[in-house]
Structure 1
Amino acid sequence: MTAYLHGFIPEEQQRLMDQAGVLGSLIYPRIDFAGCKKLLEVGSGVGAQTETLLRLFPDLEITCVDYSQSQLDRAKQNLAFACDRVKFVCQDAKELVLDEKYDSVFICWALEHIPNSHLVLEAVKPYLFPNAKLWFTEVFNSSFYFNPPLAGLSKYYLAYNEFQRSLGGNPDIGANLGNLLKRAGYTQIELFHGGFHLDQRNAEDLRNITQYWKGLMKSAGVGMITAGLITEVDLLAMEKDLDLIAEDDNAVFFYHFVQISATV
């Protein structure tokens, strides 16, 4: 099985569900699958985003593809309320073998983890109807900026991105996705930015996001320690620094992800 930055433990599976709630208001305002009936979700994991899609678009039937059976098993539990509208396929998305075609595709926080992720874009195409709607949401980790400058968080974040690259992932794939889609033959490619620019004007949001960020960073901690990239002391320093940012009078917390729509 391909290594996964965040791991598959139950605590991480719950974090993914919580993350969908925290970031949902940032992800979904633009996404539109109105009129679509069959959606393919690649890298669906525990069904965190699937749940939102099912509620927003009640006419959709969704095929969830993930390479981890343990993630799909958790997804079946999370999505039991809509079991008649969801199918689960355990496959490597770079080598898809599916039984039907789709009029829509959704990929969120998944391509960043997949080595040679351009192969996913190529593997999906044979299973799409003409004019299918595609929406991608992906990371752009180089956009992260915070104030005050804190050595613990800086060190940890550099190691976090190095760890993802060592696993074959790409922490900046959002910035490159437009070119990848163009080379794969997709059309009508449109790019948007989402994210947050927080300071003490919105202190509650600042605290909420720094706490969310702490959980995101910690989710890779065990793997980073095992890889020798950080120590337990470094992990604790990162947590402390995020708490300091939330309370600083001059705090700034900035991050942009990238969303792209396209068709075939």
Structure 2
Amino acid sequence: MRTDYVHGYTAAETRRLADQAGTLASLLHDGLHFPPGARVLEAGCGVGAQTVQLLIRHPHIQLVAIDQSEASLTEAKARVAAAGLDTQVEWRCGDLRELEGETFDHVFVCFVLEHLADPVGVLRGLRRLAPAITVIEGDHGSAFFHPWSAAAQGVIDCLVGLQAEVGGDALVGRRLQPLLREAGFTQVRVEPRVVYADETVPGLVEGFTRKTFVAMVESVRERAVAAGMLSAAEWAHGVRELERAAEPGGTFHYTFFRAEARR
């Protein structure tokens, strides 16, 4: 399950993922239930931002967290240990194909499919490992904001374009149901999880609009400029315009999609 992580493996990206996980914990995880003793696979755990949330909400599960990046796993282990949860995780470094023949009660996949060139193939492999799956993805096409400008939309479009160039899909959230169905899953149920932020909810403005979404767009600045998508000046102007959505009078809307399915 090789990926080209378009946002980069940087300290800033690690902070962004942690900010995102903390800000959206209830939005993404509420209603998710794993019984005590359940063996759960977190596929593509990255730096452990979602791992912490899983363990806080399901303290008695047997969690196996796998990622192909040793550096990300090192960060994940430190993050989980700092939360006092390190004894609850079995860490694996490698490809999901190395799990062939193992069995789990549930698979949890969060913000992974968007980076994959063959999400259906990966989902088919996961289907062989467990009878049930939860998948959470975003969709950058659901980003609506005020005040809107072509320059702000332009930097978002750069992110979407760069994701496509490396084989991913920044709009994958809208495709979860057909992807899971094509992979052979049944009883597929997808529901939107909507974020709306304005000055009346300053925590969301800071934690999501600024520290999650704008920071995510900013993470591809060097790639976008190097690719000739925008000049450095055009990029800076576009980000500044996008930041207006986090200022008084600004608003920001985004939709995540959470899918539950069985094999």
Q: TM-score, with normalisation over the residues of structure 2?
A: 0.90
1:112 aligns with 2:89: no
**86, 89, 93: which one pairs with 2:89?**
86
- Paired residues for 1:1-264 under 5 Å: 2-35=3-36, 37-80=38-81, 81-93=84-96, 95-98=97-100, 100-128=102-130, 132-202=131-201, 205-212=204-211, 213-247=213-247, 249=249, 251-264=250-263
In structure 2, the CA distance between the partners of 1:46 and 1:234, relative to structure 1 (3 Å rule), is same
Q: TM-score, with normalisation over the residues of structure 1?
A: 0.90
Structure 1 residues 48-90: Cα deviation after superposition (integer angstroms, max 9, x where no partner) = 1001101110111211121211111211211223333212222
Q: CA RMSD in A?
A: 2.0
Unaligned runs of 5+ in 2: none
Aligned length in residues: 259
CA contact (8 A) 1:96 1:123 kept: no
CA contact (8 A) 1:101 1:127 kept: yes
Letter in 2 for 1:211: R
Percent sequence identity is: 29
SS at the partner of 2:13?
Answer: helix
CA contact (8 A) 1:189 1:261 kept: yes
Unaligned runs of 5+ in 1: none
In structure 2, the CA distance between the partners of 1:231 and 1:68, relative to structure 1 (3 Å rule), is farther
CA contact (8 A) 1:156 1:235 kept: yes
SS at the partner of 1:205?
Answer: helix
